[in-house]
Amino acid sequence: MKVFSKALNQNHQHYFQYDIIDSMDIYLINNPVDFYGMNYGFAAWLLVDNKNGINILVEIGPAAAIDIVQDTIETLGVKKIDFILLTHIHLDHAGGLGHILKYYPEAMVYASEKGRKHIIEPDKLWDSSVKVLGKRLTDAYQKTIGIPEKNVLKDKPSIEGLSIIKTPGHAPHHETFIFEREGVQLIFCGEAAGMIYGRAERKLVLGDGIDNEPDFIYLYPATIYRFEYDVSDNSLKKLISLAHDENCYLFYSHYGAAEDGKKMLEANHAQLVFWKDMIEKEVKKRIENEENPLDMEFLKEIAFQLMKSDLHLKDYVHYREDVKRAQFRYILNSVYGIADWAIRNYHKERA
């Protein structure tokens, strides 16, 4: 995989181009969000399908990033968008949908069946996001607007080589898009296989601080509230069983692409088991000592322990302070999700 990157200006407007197959140009368009350490780390994927003359976006990003996404699409000489595919409808993936459709009113949107009504009428989703994420972050994402029903596909779009796989876990309605072209598998996994900084993309995010290629790609589970172990475990196993041993690439919404897709899926699965076992053991001790297992200081301590013992997190200590702050927040959210599940599971097993 050859990766080219280009900065368009100083305004965090940046894209990557991935040279993998002939019939499709693949771009990551950076979605800057003006919030601590979040100017990089959110992706909209643009697929220019030369063979069939169609252009596809996988994820579009939050409302705040849409002008930049559109400007980048135009800079790349792409005049129309035919399809928009959403892995799930969280604000950081789909919040800008109503805004991008103003530029591309003919685009047809695919979201999972459970998500469709929320992209047409997003007020409930917006209100619950403000509650869960907090007003400061949702203000940084900017307000979502609804889209016309006529733009919403009721079925899977017919795009050459595309299959859509249900991968609940990070969100109950999460789906994964797999393209099979020229004997190559391109898997757009959203957050079903965790979060990374890809080898090429991390230099941009982290500046000149880290030059060495890591032995392990920075990776962690995206196991937010309300996490269900069996559901995430099943989704990952399903993806592992579908992934080819070779010529399989993963495209993460947070953030970048990885070769050795099957190995990356297996690594995330092993990591999920490792985190689950560790957190479950600590939560059990807390419950039996009659201490609060969701105490924030306790959860932070677990996150620090994981950072020391999980080789996929070893680069964290080298990150810039603002990036560290954002990353720690995400890692803590994932620890919280698993701890909350472990408490429910503890009581369920003893009921």
* Binding stretches for Zn ion (CB under 5 A): 92
Inter-residue contact 285 to 221 (CB < 8 Å) = no
Nearest distance from residue 191's CB to Zn ion, in Å?
Answer: 5
Rounded CA gap, 174 and 168, in Å?
Answer: 5
The span from the CA of 267 to the CA of 193, in Å, is 9
Closer to Zn ion at the Cβ: 25 or 92?
A: 92
Determine the number of helices (DSSP H) and then strands (DSSP E) in the chain.
11, 14
In the bound state with Zn ion, the residue whose beta carbon lies nearer, of 92 and 175, is 92
Least distance to Zn ion from the beta carbon of 254, Å?
6
Min. distance of Cβ 93 from Zn ion in angstroms?
5
For the bound state, the minimum distance from the C-beta of residue 118 to Zn ion, rounded and expressed in Å, comes to 15
Q: What are phi and psi of 89, to 5 degrees?
A: -105, 20
Nearest residue (CB) to Zn ion, 37 versus 293: 37
Cβ proximity to Zn ion, 24 vs 189, nearer residue = 189
Q: Minimal CB distance to Zn ion: which residue? A: 92
**Which tokens hold the place of 151?**
């733009």
Shortest distance (Å) from residue 170 CB to Zn ion:
8
Residue 214 gets which letter from DSSP? P
Residues 98 and 122: their CA atoms lie apart, in Å, by: 10
Q: Is the peptide bond before 226 cis (omega within 30 degrees of 0)?
A: yes
Nearer to Zn ion, 174 or 202 (CB): 174
Helix 296-309 vs helix 261-288: crossing angle, to nearest 10: 140
